[in-house]
């Protein structure tokens, strides 16, 4: 049995997480779920968006499966997601974007893994006004050599372990010479230690253009926090949208799995949200736990359902009247 902290989250969170748990339970994986709360639901229940009990659970399980969270303004947190990533030093945010059979997109053969630095950069939380009139504000991007090293090393090791050929570092060291400069230097040093992996460097603005014009040239991409946030939504757009992209937040002694998308308040409570992204995050979690068979079963089942295009939510097929729950049921049925 693997104990996993389960945080269903806010907005569309509970509905998509219910489907993900249903699918994972049906896959044969041996998971013992520990319910915990964070975000708006935790604030409403306990008056605290990040209760001690939640952290005690993660301290113990070291693995969390989480829906999207809404951060309540005025609770001392800028973002609960960022707080969790920083507390558990989940320094590598891995976001794979791959074409799906049955999802019509502009390009075929897109298979990009973004590895986003997840604990520093512009997300360090150092932002303030410089004047009492609040007409000048300042944000500090903190980049450390050690913080860069651990995520870049992770990206190269990931490439090697997953039979990938190339790592591209996306940066802006031509303008941000020190912060981005450290990141680029470390990437070059690390690349020299991985002669079997091709290395490329691109300035982030040019990388955006290349990604939109010729995405097949990208394989593993490693980048700083804010650029990774933006580039991963771009890659989501290349393969069919946010409803399909999972994310793994990896540290040395804890990991948290979630969808890349947020709580999507516009479609919450309408049975419209696509559960595929969190279910694929569940697949990443099962692989992390060594439940390879169960992970494979779920992946094949969800691919079949998406390929057939009947029981998919409207973001994948505008004519579809299938809801979140029906799509989850179809995935369970497809596992046979």
Catalytic residue flag (residue 123) = yes
Instruction: Based on the shown chain and the rule CB under 6 A, indicate whether residue 267 belongs to the binding site for ligand ATP.
Output: yes
Residue nearest to ligand ATP (CB): 262
Q: Which stretch binds ligand ATP (CB under 6 A): 32-40, 128-136, 193-201, 266-274?
A: 266-274
In the complex, minimum distance from the CB of residue 151 to ligand ATP, in angstroms, rounded to a whole number: 22
Kind and range of the H or E run holding 160:
helix 145-161
DSSP 8-state symbol, 243: G
Residue nearest to Mg ion (CB): 262
Interactions with ligand ATP, residue window 9-48 (CB under 6 A): 12
273 binds, among ligand ATP, Mg ion, none (CB under 5 to 8 A by kind): ligand ATP
Among 35, 52, 59, 205, the one annotated catalytic: 205
Instruction: Based on the shown chain and the rule CB under 6 A, indicate whether residue 321 belongs to the binding site for ligand ATP.
Output: no
Instruction: Based on the shown chain and the rule CB under 6 A, indicate whether residue 327 belongs to the binding site for ligand ATP.
Output: no
Instruction: Based on the shown chain and the rule CB under 6 A, indicate whether residue 274 belongs to the binding site for ligand ATP.
Output: yes
Tokens of 136: 């000048």
Tokens of 263: 């709580």
List, in sequence order, the alpha helices (H) in 162-263. Answer: 179-192, 204-213, 225-239
The rounded distance, in Å, linking the Cα atoms of 97 and 243 is 11
Tokens of 166: 């190339």
Tokens of 255: 């990991």
Among 66, 172, 202, 299, the one annotated catalytic: 172
51 or 262: CB nearest Mg ion:
262
Among 8, 85, 261, 297, binds ligand ATP (CB under 6 A): 261
- Say if CB 207 and CB 168 are below 8 A apart: yes
Instruction: Based on the shown chain and the rule CB under 6 A, indicate whether residue 85 belongs to the binding site for ligand ATP.
Output: no
* Cβ partners under 8 Å of residue 182, min gap 6: 143, 144, 145, 148
Catalytic residue flag (residue 229) = yes
Instruction: Based on the shown chain and the rule CB under 6 A, indicate whether residue 331 belongs to the binding site for ligand ATP.
Output: no
Catalytic residue flag (residue 129) = no
Question: 194 in helix, strand or coil?
Answer: coil
Among 229, 299, 311, 315, the one annotated catalytic: 229
> DSSP letter string over 111-147?
EEEEEEE-SSEEEEEEEEESSTTS--EEEEEE--HHH
The count of residues interacting with ligand ATP (CB under 6 A) is: 16
Bridge partners, residue 92, by sequence = 117, 250
Among 123, 154, 158, 311, the one annotated catalytic: 123
264 or 301: CB nearest ligand ATP:
264
Angle at 322 between CA 319 and CA 324, to 5 degrees: 130
Which residues are part of the catalytic machinery? 123, 172, 205, 229
- Which residues contact ligand ATP (rule: CB under 6 A)? 12, 68, 70, 242-243, 261-267, 273-274, 277, 315
């Amino acid at each position: 049995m693997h104990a996993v902290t389960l945080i269903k989250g806010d907005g569309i969170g509970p509905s998509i997480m219910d489907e993900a748990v249903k699918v994972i339970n049906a896959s044969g994986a041996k998971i013992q779920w520990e319910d915990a709360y964070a975000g708006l639901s935790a604030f409403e229940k306990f008056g605290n968006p990040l209760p001690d009990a939640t952290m005690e659970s993660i301290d113990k399980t070291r693995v969390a499966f989480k829906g999207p969270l809404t951060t309540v303004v005025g609770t001392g947190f800028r973002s609960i997601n960022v707080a969790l990533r920083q507390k558990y030093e989940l320094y590598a945010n891995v976001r794979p974007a791959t074409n799906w059979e049955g999802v019509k997109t502009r390009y075929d053969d897109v298979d990009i893994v973004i590895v986003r630095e997840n604990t520093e950069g512009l997300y360090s939380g150092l932002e303030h006004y410089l004047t009492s009139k609040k007409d000048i504000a300042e944000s500090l991007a903190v980049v450390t050599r050690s913080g860069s090293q651990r995520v870049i090393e992770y990206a190269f090791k990931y490439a090697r372990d997953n039979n990938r050929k190339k790592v591209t570092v996306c940066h802006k060291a031509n303008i941000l010479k020190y912060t981005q400069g450290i990141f680029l230097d470390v990437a070059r040093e690390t690349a020299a230690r991985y002669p079997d992996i091709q290395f490329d460097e691109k300035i982030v603005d040019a990388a955006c253009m290349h990604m939109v014009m010729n995405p097949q040239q990208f394989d593993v991409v490693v980048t700083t926090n804010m650029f990774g946030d933006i580039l991963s939504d771009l890659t989501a757009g290349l393969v069919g949208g946010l409803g399909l992209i999972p994310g793994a937040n990896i540290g040395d002694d804890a990991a948290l799995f979630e969808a890349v998308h947020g709580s999507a308040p516009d479609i919450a409570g309408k049975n419209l949200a696509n559960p595929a992204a969190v279910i694929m995050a569940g697949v990443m979690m099962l692989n992390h736990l060594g439940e390879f068979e169960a992970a494979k079963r779920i992946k094949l089942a969800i691919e079949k359902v998406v390929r057939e295009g009947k029981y998919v939510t409207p973001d994948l097929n505008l004519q579809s009247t299938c809801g979140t729950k029906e799509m989850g049921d179809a995935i369970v049925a497809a596992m046979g």
